[in-house]
Amino acid sequence: MEFSIRSSRQKDILDITDLVGESVRKSKIQDGICLVFAPHATAGIIINEFEPNIKQDFEMVFDKLFPAASYRHNSIDDNAQAHLKSGIIGSERTVPVDGGSLLLGTWQRILLCEFDGPRERRVVVKVVGK
């Protein structure tokens, strides 16, 4: 299964939990594993609280970890920082499926991190189990 979501800023964090949950429900799997994968080289997936302040804190820390610099890739399309963030943070997460739903902690949400937007992003969801 797959869905699309549009980021509205150059750097953005989008809550995709409900869209992933819908894919899990459609799969009819009750007990298993849900893989959430962004097929992109300049986006990432994390799991955490979705709240405006922590969202801004994440964006600040991502920039501190991957500061602007004269990266060699910038001579091609000027988005090396976005590639580095995506490569290190990762483009997939796995969540248990229990009772037909995502088994997440009270404050956990599945978040798509946009590092080179705004643009349309695809998210692939694979649910396996019984």
Interface ranges with Zn ion (CB under 5 A): 77, 79
Of 41 and 128, the one with the shorter C-beta distance to Zn ion is 41
Of 63 and 78, the one with the shorter C-beta distance to Zn ion is 78
Q: Whole-number minimum distance, CB 15 to Zn ion, in Å? A: 26
Of 79 and 91, the one with the shorter C-beta distance to Zn ion is 79
Q: Whole-number minimum distance, CB 40 to Zn ion, in Å? A: 11
Backbone angles phi, psi at 16, to 5 degrees: -110, 10
Sheet with strand 92-98: strands edge to edge: 2-6, 120-129, 31-37, 92-98, 101-102
Q: Whole-number minimum distance, CB 119 to Zn ion, in Å? A: 13
Of 50 and 71, the one with the shorter C-beta distance to Zn ion is 71
Helix, strand, coil content of the chain in percent (nearest 5): 30, 35, 35
Q: Whole-number minimum distance, CB 25 to Zn ion, in Å? A: 36
Does residue 114 contact residue 121 with C-beta atoms inside 8 Å? yes
Separation of alpha carbons 29 and 51, rounded Å: 30
